[in-house]
Structure 1
Amino acid sequence: MRKLLAPSLLGALLAGTAPLLSTPALAANAREANVPAPILTTPEAHDVWTHAEPEAARVTHVSLDLDVDFASKTLAGTATLDVLADADAKEIVLDVKDMTIASVTDGKGTPLAYTLGEPDNDELGAALTVQLDGAKQVRVTYRTSPKASALQWLPPEMTFGKTQPYLYSQGQAIHNRSWVPTQDSPGIRQTWDATLRVPGDLVAVMSAEKLSGDKGETLPDGRRAFRFRMDKPVPPYLIAFAVGDLKFKSLGPRSGVWTEAPMLEKAAYEFADVEKMIDAASALYGPYRWGRYDMLLLPPAFPYGGMENPMLTFLTPTIVTGDRSNTDVVAHELAHSWSGNLVTNATWSDSWLNEGFTTYFENRIMEALYGKERAAMYADLDWDSMMRDIAAMGDDMKPGMTAAPSRLHGNPGEGELDYTKGSNFLRMLETRLGRKAWDTYLTSYFDRHAFQPQTTAGFLADLRERMLKDKPDTELALQLDRWAYGAGVPDNAVHVKSETLAQVDERLEAFEAGGPVSAIDTQGWSTQQWLRFLNGLPRELSQERLRELDEGLTLSNSENAYVQSAWFELAIVNRYEPAFPAMAEFVGRIGRGLLVYPIYQRLMQQEGWGPDKARAIFATARPTYHPETAAGIARILGE
């Protein structure tokens, strides 16, 4: 995902702050046919965000058969689960949230006794405990709630086409339990298949192989049925779908883009290099194992930059700026096909194993395609982000936290450190161990752990065994445990500096010295250059200097959402009122958390007037947000 969730309860409740021994030898590699992915049993692999007890009984396959009803904003049908249980296991425990259970049977239709517990909290949902009576399959007949947190039902006016409704799912981190009754933990990998029945004038797509063609199968009642299959075991948060007035354009033999007609050509232009990206990634760290790599460009309400759903990456339209300067997001989600989808964090305490690895890998793809300087721009900005996050959080423990906020392990969702500190950790390893040796190791790591969960302790143990055995001095210099379990950034961190951004810094210095805005030539600037400039401006500026910036650089009305977000932050802290109408329109139109969370945060920091403005804007904009975005903003507002 690019970028991660903003404010979340995950960081407050996930346990694990000290290094632990790696897991014993795993079961047979899950790549072999009909062999379920292993379950890790070491203490640090215990997932506190699932009710499941997978060591006793676990789901290995999910088969969905669902009707999509836009009128009631619900999905209804069945989920048939293949179960692997110990000989003495009496029951299996599933995760469900805001779901109405009609019946539970075995695969032949024989009723099975079950209990549905009370929800633990708004995020965790409830435990559905089913008595197995020897059953190898469990079939749950159910209906989702209109408020299912994984689903966003968009009216036509919130789409690009403006004529048809739209629906999409967003499962990470633990939202899929609101539409799929299963064991919703990244460490419990499952294969799956699905049949979706949708209105006849709409198209369904999923993160899996299409079995029924792009237009589905027309049913007697006029609806269309679409069938899909994922024959590789994946963490359940990667089961994803969308339904809308979707069109497709091929970009190459393995890739293409889905979106609504008004955005199709723009998206195809922006993502034209995707085939080159697949080749570059495969050359770096081994073959692409998922067949196709298609992309779905969603409406502006989508809460993230991208979501790495296998075979169908979900992308925000905010990256479509016409200059291809934000295709690092595509590279990021593609890289997840190795780090995250292939080798997955066993729990969200170890989310840096997904995001840090992917951010590092993304940068290597960009370097391979566009050269060292462009990659250096992204790395330099990530360094800035990392240092801002650490400075903002400090190293003090917050109430309820299990780890200092700037540790890699233990507090996902705190800023972007999973991405930035995680990738810098790996860049340090590359620098210290040598790129050739590091790349050889990382290729082997992805291959040996393919389709398996992983923990921080497991990765460190593997690295020590494969790269550092009998090299105590080298290991000491790397400071592995301090990177993974300590606060802050160790002194062996590598700060990659960009010459292009250094030139932007010169313009910043001239402006700060009193130079006119008219002397700043922004012609041809990429998003990265704009962000360096706007984030580097003094936080206290006069109203006249702000007006000069706004009018001279067309900031409030920029067509680049990244530019607008960074500018509005600066306008808010200086209470520059002329920017506020555009800011209110922006947060009501854009649903990407990375771009709107900071605006609400800055407003809440302006005592006396900011909180009232934030709450008024949110009251109007809330219906346009994905449930996760709305929940994040509500937490910022203290609701």
Structure 2
Amino acid sequence: MIKYLIISTLVLSCISSDLDLNTFSNYLEVRINHLHLEWLLDLDNKLVNATAEYQIKVLRNVDHIDLDIYLLDVFNVYLLNGNPLEFQIQVIRNQTLVQGDKLVIKLDRQYKALENLIIRIKYAYTDKARAAGFLTKEQTQSKKVPYMFSQCEAIKCRSLMPLQDTPSVKFTYSSTVLSKDPLIKVFMTGHQVDSLQLIGQYEETRLYQYSFKLDIPIPAYLIGIVAGEVEQRNVGGNCYVISEPHFLEGYAKELEELPFFLEKMSEYIGPYIWGEYKIVVLPQSCPFGGMEHPLLTFASPMMIVGDKSGVGIAIHEIAHSWMGNTVTGNNWSNLWIMESLCVFLERKTYQFVRPKDYDVIEAINGNIDMIEDIEGFVDPEKITYKSLHPNTAWKNPNDSFSLVPYEKGYQLLYYLEQLIGEENFKFFLRSYLDYFKFQSIDEDDFYKYLLRWVRQNIQDNQQAIINEIILIYKPWVYDLGLPPRQFSQTTPKYQQAISLANAWIQNNEQPQNANEYNDYMPNQQTIFMQQIMSNWEKLTNSKIKALDDFYKFSGAKQGVQIGFKWYRTIVLCKYEDSFWAVRQFLQSIGVRSYIVGIYEVLIQNYLNLAKQWFEEDKYLYHPLVSNKVQDMLNKAGIFE
């Protein structure tokens, strides 16, 4: 959490009881206030030559600066006047490939608290940067030029630049990106502005310059870049879609409701403060569902289904404009502060933009998947991942990511809303955002502010409400496993889908109401498919064939969650007649969780086939995905 002391009219962050254990930086002694980047792209060689300039505030007397790095080539460090500074790279407890290393910069003298200084670092990064996804031109739709995109969450930003890679530190930001090829266009976090003055001198006679600026402070993980043959199109109001040109018209049509989503969300939670809203639909190899960079959301093409049923990803990422980007958890043990509040706002928005009970079905699906994740954390090293406040010390915090911070946190917020009242909770959230605006906080900050707000604003049954919050809040956050209050959301549409699935599972004949499935909401169809998958051991090949013959699931254009559950069922049931569709599905997506989930059951049941498919298709995947599957195959090979 960030507290504030007023010293000589300056507001400075000071020590927190909930520190970030996943940074090697000395962020309690010095603080980056502004970051400027200058990058020269060489995408053909998967190389970026870079200079970073840091405006730094000294918080305590200090003679050095420690920054996070990951496999960067650091060439020199110097002051604004050109004087060089000594530096060294320190390896901490064999963390080089886990969290990276520490860049220790020796300053020219001891600096006192409240002083300012500016330093510059010249460095380069390559495809070793785990935040960077480099695609060859052959992997793009037009096959004309290479493509690059980034994914910095959680602690990958240190592979793109040396910095204080912690959500506890927020800074304003600017950048200039130079391209040698006119076909390669660049979009980056922030507002595009006229050319900024260059720091470096370049031998190339013709460079194409793209500059960006953001005056709202953000943490490092929200910096994002996409570069390649990309175009943008306005879909109404302040909303834009960006993609490869071939797909732009179709994507823009699928996402034409963006202004409506933004309007309805703003009506509930308050004004959208960031200006434009742009969403980049990345190429197929995108390893994640979405990423909420301010003014530049990234999304997987898996959300483009054709019937607008997959655009919930966009609604979730829009919600991050308030929850996470404006008020941020101060470390990765407090990821739930970003994600659960975002899920809550996303589902609240569904009440205005989707059919009745769509939000309830989302919550039910989320609860099912959360329980599966909780039950999957059996490794003693990962046991704390069952809580809302996992221990990420000496680990890559990405390893702790699951549906627990999303859904267990959402259920806490939903319970609080029921306790306080729907309208009251809306005003609490607005007040919370205003009070902590642009700050990074921990779970205790949220807790104390919640109690204070209730005492000041709730009259009826106040003490009983306070007593219940005190009773359940800390156990909800820190205890392992399911929440202390039972999940209670329900709708007849849930039981309707379960009953239809059971009719298929338990009987040898086609149910009379089989056509009912086609009228379900997409997430209600997911409930049906979850029930089918959960009962795969009861399904004969003849039943699988009957399901497929009637609904044409195999090879269909459908929501990725439905497809994922169907194809896992196909493999688990060893229904080889549809393996062609399983392969097609694996070749058509890039999201890590879905590819890993299919390969998990393939490896268990068809190891040699899994090896063959992966060897032939691994070029389609982002390194984060291919490395994970290769590791699974290697481990499975040991026990053959």
Which residue is 1:559 aligned to? 557
Query: Which shifted more, 383-392 or 62-71?
Result: 383-392
Q: 1:24 to 1:107 in 2, by over 3 A?
A: closer
Which residue is 2:385 aligned to? 405
Contact 2:48 2:125 in 1 (8 A): yes
Task: Identify the match of residue 437 of structure 2 among 450, 457, 477.
Answer: 450
Which residue is 1:499 aligned to? 492
Offset at residue 309 of structure 1 (A)? 0.5
Offset at residue 186 of structure 1 (A)? 1.0
Superposition map of 1:457-468 within 5 A: 457-468=444-455
Matched, 1:41 2:22: no
Counterparts of 1:376 and 1:453, CA distance in 2:
30
Deviations 1:426-469 (A, max 9, x none): 01100111011111111010111111111112211221222258
Counterparts of 1:340 and 1:64, CA distance in 2:
23
Which residue is 1:159 aligned to? 140
Matched, 1:146 2:120: no
Offset at residue 80 of structure 1 (A)? 0.7
Which residue is 1:229 aligned to? 213
Which residue is 2:28 aligned to? 55
Superposition map of 1:160-309 within 5 A: 160-198=141-179, 199-212=181-194, 221-309=205-293
Contact 2:44 2:136 in 1 (8 A): no
Q: 1:27 to 1:578 in 2, by over 3 A?
A: farther
Which consecutive unaligned segments of at least 5 residues does structure 1 have? 1-22, 214-218
Deviations 1:359-378 (A, max 9, x none): 11100111122254222222
Secondary structure of residue in 2 paired with 1:323 = coil
Task: Identify the match of residue 629 of structure 2 among 624, 630, 633.
Answer: 633
Contact 2:358 2:521 in 1 (8 A): no
Counterparts of 1:120 and 1:380, CA distance in 2:
39
Counterparts of 1:24 and 1:52, CA distance in 2:
16
Query: Which shifted more, 510-519 or 293-302?
Result: 510-519
**Paired residues, what number?**
601
Deviation beyond 6 Å, 4+ runs, structure 1: none
Which residue is 2:597 aligned to? 598
Counterparts of 1:555 and 1:518, CA distance in 2:
19
Deviations 1:94-132 (A, max 9, x none): 111111111111112210111112362313111111112
Secondary structure of residue in 2 paired with 1:113 = strand
One-letter code aligned to 2:555: N
Offset at residue 582 of structure 1 (A)? 2.7
Offset at residue 497 of structure 1 (A)? 2.1
Q: 1:80 to 1:448 in 2, by over 3 A?
A: same
Query: Which shifted more, 173-182 or 616-625?
Result: 616-625
Contact 1:149 1:175 in 2 (8 A): yes
Counterparts of 1:294 and 1:385, CA distance in 2:
30
Deviations 1:12-50 (A, max 9, x none): xxxxxxxxxxx6842479xxxx977x6462232x11211
Which residue is 2:198 aligned to? none
Q: 1:623 to 1:387 in 2, by over 3 A?
A: same
Counterparts of 1:278 and 1:27, CA distance in 2:
36
Contact 1:200 1:222 in 2 (8 A): no
Matched, 1:322 2:306: yes
Q: What TM-score, normalized by structure 2, do the two folds share? A: 0.88
Offset at residue 302 of structure 1 (A)? 0.9
Matched, 1:474 2:465: yes
Matched, 1:349 2:348: no
One-letter code aligned to 1:548: A
Offset at residue 85 of structure 1 (A)? 1.4
One-letter code aligned to 1:474: I
Counterparts of 2:131 and 2:216, CA distance in 1:
22
Query: Which shifted more, 149-158 or 118-127?
Result: 118-127
Task: Identify the match of residue 363 of structure 1 among 335, 343, 347.
Answer: 347
Which consecutive unaligned segments of at least 5 residues does structure 2 have? 110-115, 196-202, 392-396, 636-640
Contact 2:184 2:230 in 1 (8 A): yes
Secondary structure of residue in 2 paired with 1:257 = strand
Q: 1:467 to 1:305 in 2, by over 3 A?
A: same
Deviations 1:280-307 (A, max 9, x none): 2222222111111111111111111110
Offset at residue 168 of structure 1 (A)? 0.4
Counterparts of 1:65 and 1:528, CA distance in 2:
44
Counterparts of 1:196 and 1:524, CA distance in 2:
48
Superposition map of 1:557-596 within 5 A: 557-560=555-558, 561-596=560-595
Superposition map of 1:503-582 within 5 A: 503-514=496-507, 515-516=509-510, 520-521=514-515, 522-537=517-532, 538-540=535-537, 541-560=539-558, 561-582=560-581
Which residue is 2:616 aligned to? 620
Counterparts of 2:632 and 2:324, CA distance in 1:
28
Superposition map of 1:68-147 within 5 A: 68-86=41-59, 88-118=61-91, 120-134=95-109, 136-147=117-128
Q: 1:86 to 1:431 in 2, by over 3 A?
A: closer
Contact 1:150 1:627 in 2 (8 A): no
One-letter code aligned to 2:549: E
The alignment yields a C-alpha RMSD, in angstroms, of 2.6
Which residue is 2:365 aligned to? 381
Secondary structure of residue in 2 paired with 1:167 = strand
Structure with bigger helix share is: 2
One-letter code aligned to 2:522: T
Contact 1:40 1:346 in 2 (8 A): no
Contact 2:5 2:14 in 1 (8 A): no
Matched, 1:26 2:4: yes
Secondary structure of residue in 2 paired with 1:132 = strand
One-letter code aligned to 1:203: K
Offset at residue 505 of structure 1 (A)? 2.1
Which residue is 1:4 aligned to? none
Secondary structure of residue in 2 paired with 1:43 = coil
Secondary structure of residue in 1 paired with 2:233 = strand
Deviations 1:253-277 (A, max 9, x none): 2111111122112211221111122
Query: Which shifted more, 554-563 or 530-539?
Result: 554-563
Q: 1:24 to 1:78 in 2, by over 3 A?
A: closer
Contact 2:88 2:103 in 1 (8 A): yes
Counterparts of 2:631 and 2:445, CA distance in 1:
34
Counterparts of 1:292 and 1:35, CA distance in 2:
31
Offset at residue 476 of structure 1 (A)? 3.6
Identity of aligned residues (%): 25
Query: Which shifted more, 558-567 or 614-623?
Result: 614-623
Counterparts of 1:490 and 1:481, CA distance in 2:
11
Contact 1:373 1:499 in 2 (8 A): no
Contact 2:3 2:14 in 1 (8 A): no
Counterparts of 1:106 and 1:253, CA distance in 2:
44
**Greater RCO, 1 or 2 (C-alpha within 8 Å, sep 6+):** 1
Counterparts of 1:284 and 1:564, CA distance in 2:
33
Contact 2:38 2:52 in 1 (8 A): yes
Query: Which shifted more, 159-168 or 442-451?
Result: 159-168
Matched, 1:489 2:482: yes
One-letter code aligned to 1:445: Y
Deviations 1:529-564 (A, max 9, x none): 332111111221111112222333222211223332
Q: 1:392 to 1:102 in 2, by over 3 A?
A: closer
Which residue is 1:9 aligned to? none
